Amino acid sequence: MSRLPVTLSVTVLAALLLAGCMADEHQDIKQWMQEASKNIKGRIPPLPEIKPFPIVSYDASDLMDPFNSLRIETGKKGEGSGLRPDLDRYKEPLEAYPLEALKMVGVVHEKGRISAMVLADKMVHTVRIGNYMGQNFGKVVGITDTEIQLKELVQDQDSEWVERATSLQLQEQETKK
């Protein structure tokens, strides 16, 4: 029994010695932290005020749902007038260009027939009545010495195909002196 108090006293003495040593162990780090933080003055700005968004009521109970399958209209395009372009027809080279990009540069009278010369992308093409040109299914219906007359098929606001008369005027070249 005498051994228990001695062991207890040795344990208590060792704990006190360790506690005394530990108190000074980090003293240099604590002193460095105090010196380094003397001149630091930090300030965190306050968070911005959250502005509430105005509540807007959306009342669409009397409107049709845009995702409703009844909204889809099928088979309506171009049925009214009976006009429609021939999409199976072979496209002619001048149909690749908008009409604004084409220039009439001359005419040729040959054996009672008239042909127009059209400049497209630095190439000259010969056009006769019945040829197509432009991107709106334009068919050449007349050629004079000063213009090419066309009938184009375009869609109106109701998606109906309608004919539109247009022309391509002769572009006079300036001669260099």
Q: Does 174 map to a domain?
A: no
Whether residue 105 is contained in a domain is answered as yes
Regarding whether 164 and 98 lie in a shared domain, the answer is: yes
Number of domains in the chain: 2
What distance lies between CA 86 and its chain's CA centroid? 31
59: its two tokens? 């009342």
Q: 139 lies in a domain?
A: yes
Residue 82: inside a domain? no
Query: Which two structure tokens, joined as six digits, stand for 146?
Result: 């000063």
Structural tokens at position 135: 């991107």
- CATH code for the domain in which residue 150 is found: 2.30.30.830
Distance, in Å, from the CA atom of 62 to the CA atom of 138, rounded to the nearest integer, reads: 44
| pTM beyond cutoff 0.75 | no
DSSP symbols for 30-67: HHHHHHHTSS----PPPPPPPPPPPP-----TTSPPTT
Domain that holds residue 131: 93-169
Residue 19 inside a domain? The answer is yes
Which of the 8 DSSP states describes residue 176? P
What pLDDT, in 10s, does the model give residues 42-86? 788 888 998 888 888 877 777 777 776 655 554 444 455 578 888
Is residue 31 situated within a structural domain? Answer: yes
Per-residue pLDDT reduced to its tens digit, 92-142: 999 999 999 999 999 999 888 999 999 998 899 999 999 999 999 999 999
